[in-house]
């Protein structure tokens, strides 16, 4: 397993990040335990969750709770993991505007403590704002995170689904306050979704923010193995992108991978990791077997000719979806 610094920080993370969104929902706890065991054996030291996983309703927080029970049952495992979680969405279906979507010092104070309790840990290594909140002031945003860092509850701060302009805005404010600011940004990025190349990746690279792409396999479509189910991410991607596992584009990708003697999983993730702004790729694992190709993906270096072929095959001007009625990042993110 390869490692790199996360953004401008000196924090070393594996180039594959274990995504735990399915824990407690599509992945039962016993399988989740096997996945975490295997991830540590492989050297995957970067694990990502969120307080709202595996919602909706009372299932929110289940992923964090499963990880917390794992740490308690496996002595020493916590200190082998760079643990990332997120805050933004409502945790309960209550009629209280202070606990609706968004962040505030009032809300985050409760949510960070609740996450710490579920995760059974004394700190969150990377605490991420799950989606941009356009109404919060820079003073409140950085004031609450400076307090969390000073208290030792949070070590580093990250964002998710922020557009490039907000990365620049928030990072500049942090620097003016003498604070490290954001070290990471999660965004949907893969061979089919190239919109982050317009603004997010350049801004992140310039501001010392490590990009952590989610859905590097485009919901499984790039593997050509997944059969879409109603309501699944694969079905959502197929519908929005107008691309199915049987399309000519995906079949051409499969043929290129075969010529390289590499799996589509390894090639798709390796392409993502080849982008200069990218630190680590988040792979949402449902079964232990899904981890088998991750080590190869982290080690595979694609040559310039292959990267050029992939760029031409998935040219950004050929049918890339964008919701022109909505601003970034909603124009191209969930």
pLDDT given at position 232: 62
Catalytic residue flag (residue 214): no
215 three-state secondary structure: coil
Backbone angles phi, psi at 184, to 5 degrees: -150, 155
| 193 φψ region: left (φ > 0), alpha (ψ -120 to 50), beta (else) | beta
What's the CA gap between 307 and 270, in Å, rounded? 10
Do strands 12-14 and 3-5 pair parallel, antiparallel, or not at all (unpaired)? antiparallel
Q: Which of 53, 70, 127, 156 is catalytic?
A: 53
Query: Please, what is the angle between helix 105-119 and helix 62-73, to 10°?
Result: 40
pLDDT value of residue 194: 87
Contact 192, 322 (CB under 8 A): no
Tokens of residue 138, six digits:
């820079």
pLDDT value of residue 120: 98
pLDDT on residue 174: 98
Candidates 2.60.34.10, 3.20.20.100, 1.10.3760.10, 3.50.50.60; correct CATH number of 3-219+275-301? 3.20.20.100
CB 298 within 8 A of CB 44: no
| CB-based contact 121:91 (threshold 8 Å) | no
Would you state the pLDDT for residue 38?
Answer: 96
Per-residue pLDDT of the chain in tens (334 residues, 90 and over written 9): 999 999 999 999 999 999 999 999 999 999 999 999 999 999 999 999 999 998 788 889 999 999 999 999 999 999 999 999 999 988 888 788 888 889 999 999 999 999 999 999 999 999 999 999 999 999 999 999 999 999 999 999 999 999 999 999 999 999 999 999 999 999 999 999 888 988 999 999 999 999 999 999 998 889 876 555 655 666 666 676 677 777 888 999 999 999 999 999 999 999 999 999 999 999 998 888 889 889 899 999 999 999 999 988 887 545 456 676 777 777 767 7
Distance, in Å, from the CA atom of 256 to the CA atom of 244, rounded to the nearest integer, reads 17
The dihedrals phi and psi of 259, each to the nearest 5 degrees, come to -65, -35
Three-state DSSP state, 66? helix
What's the rounded Cα separation, in Å, for the pair 239 and 231? 11
Burial environment of residue 165 by CB neighbours within 10 A (0 to 12, 13 to 18, 19 or more): middle
For position 321, what pLDDT does the model report?
60
Distance in angstroms (rounded) separating the CA atoms of residues 160 and 85: 11
Q: Which 3 state secondary structure label does DSSP give 146?
A: helix
pLDDT at 314: 87
Count of C-beta atoms within a 10 Å radius of residue 23: 29
Q: How far apart are CA 224 and CA 248, in angstroms?
A: 11
Residue 243 and residue 285: Cα distance in Å, rounded?
23
Q: What is the pLDDT of residue 35?
A: 97
pLDDT of residue 190: 94
Predicted TM-score (pTM) of this structure: 0.91
The domains of the chain are located at 3-219+275-301
């Amino acid at each position: 397993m390869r490692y790199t610094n996360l953004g401008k920080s000196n924090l070393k993370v594996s180039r594959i990040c274990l995504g735990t969104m399915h824990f407690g929902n599509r992945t039962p706890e016993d399988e989740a335990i096997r996945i975490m065991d295997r991830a540590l054996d492989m050297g995957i030291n970067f694990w990502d969750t969120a307080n709202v996983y595996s919602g909706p309703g009372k299932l929110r927080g289940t992923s964090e709770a499963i990880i917390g029970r794992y740490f308690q049952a496996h002595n020493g495992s916590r200190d082998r993991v760079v643990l990332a979680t997120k805050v933004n969405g409502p945790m309960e279906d209550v009629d209280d505007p202070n606990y609706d979507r968004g962040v505030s010092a009032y809300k985050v104070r409760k949510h960070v403590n609740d996450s710490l309790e579920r995760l059974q840990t004394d700190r969150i290594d990377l605490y991420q704002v799950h989606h941009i909140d356009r109404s919060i002031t820079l003073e409140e945003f950085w004031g609450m995170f400076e307090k969390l860092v000073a208290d030792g509850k949070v070590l580093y701060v990250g964002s998710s689904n922020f557009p490039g302009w907000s990365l620049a805005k928030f990072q500049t404010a942090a620097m003016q306050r003498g604070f490290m600011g954001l070290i990471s940004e999660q965004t949907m990025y893969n061979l089919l979704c190239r919109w982050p190349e317009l603004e997010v990746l350049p801004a992140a690279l310039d501001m010392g923010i490590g990009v952590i792409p989610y859905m590097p396999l485009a919901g499984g479509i790039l593997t050509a193995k997944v059969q879409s189910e109603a309501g699944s991410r694969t079905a959502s991607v197929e519908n929005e992108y107008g691309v199915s596992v049987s399309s000519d584009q995906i079949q051409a990708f499969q043929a290129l991978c075969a010529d390289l003697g590499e799996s589509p999983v390894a090639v798709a993730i390796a392409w993502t990791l080849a982008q200069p702004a990218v630190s680590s790729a988040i792979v949402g694992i449902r079964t232990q077997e899904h981890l088998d190709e991750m080590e190869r993906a982290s080690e595979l270096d694609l040559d310039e000719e292959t990267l050029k072929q992939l760029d031409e095959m998935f040219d950004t001007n050929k049918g890339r979806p964008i919701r022109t009625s909505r601003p970034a990042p909603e124009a191209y993110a969930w």
